[in-house]
Structure formats: structure tokens, C-alpha cells
Amino acid sequence: MKMNVLKNGLRIMAVLMIATSIAGIATAEGEADNEQTVAAWKGLGAGLAVGLAGIGAGISQGNIGAAAVGMLAEDSSKFGTAIIFTALPESIVILGLLPLFM
């Protein structure tokens, strides 16, 4: 199950990279870029960064959360460690939000 999710995620990322590359080549060969096109590509890039960071963080947080619950079931004194490991993937989303401000 997890391998299929990973393969599908990699396929989606490959298709998005190819589409972005083709679109970049097409705009580079055309006439001068206008401001609306540049703004649209900036928005698309920022949206992809936030979306892919959110998807990756969600997948990793699901696995980490399951492991943290199992760890707490065995030893409840490790609650702080479980919270730290559960919160780590959220920093990925914060880093993914940076292109929105650039």
C-alpha cells in the first residue's frame, strides 16, 4: 500500500516538473514576457510549493503519529518526545510557505 502511494506521488511530481519545464521553454521562446504571465507563473510556483509541502507533511505526519501513539502505549513517560516528532513535519509546510512571500 505504502509503495503504491510513493510511486503515485513520484509520478505526479515527475508530470508536474515536465509540464513546468515545457511551459518555461514555451515562454522563453516567445516574445517579451508580460506582467500578467509572470505574475501567473509566480502564483503557480508558490501554489505548487505549498501544495506539495502540505501533501508531504501530511503523509509523514500520519506515519509519525501512528508510531508516536504506539510509543506512548508502551511508555507514557515519552510524551514530550512524541509531541516533538509529531510537530517536526509542520516545519516543512512553514518552509513551503516562504515562496508566497518572495
Is 13 within 8 Å of 62 (Cβ atoms)?
A: no
Tell me whether residue 9 is exposed, middle or buried, using C-beta atoms within 10 angstroms of its C-beta: 0 to 12, 13 to 18, 19 or more.
middle
Phi, psi (rounded to 5 degrees) for 84 = -65, -45
pLDDT at 98: 77
pLDDT in tens, 48-97: 888 888 888 888 888 888 899 999 999 889 999 888 888 888 888 888 78
Is 97 within 8 Å of 50 (Cβ atoms)?
A: yes
pLDDT at 30: 54
Residue 56's CB is within 10 A of a number of other CB atoms, namely 16
pLDDT in tens, 11-57: 777 777 676 666 665 555 555 567 777 778 888 887 888 888 888 88
Cell 502540505 -> residue: 54
Q: What is the pTM of this model?
A: 0.58
pLDDT at 21: 66
Query: Cβ neighbours of residue 68 under 8 Å, at least 6 residues apart?
Result: 82, 83, 85, 86
Amino acid identity of 99? P
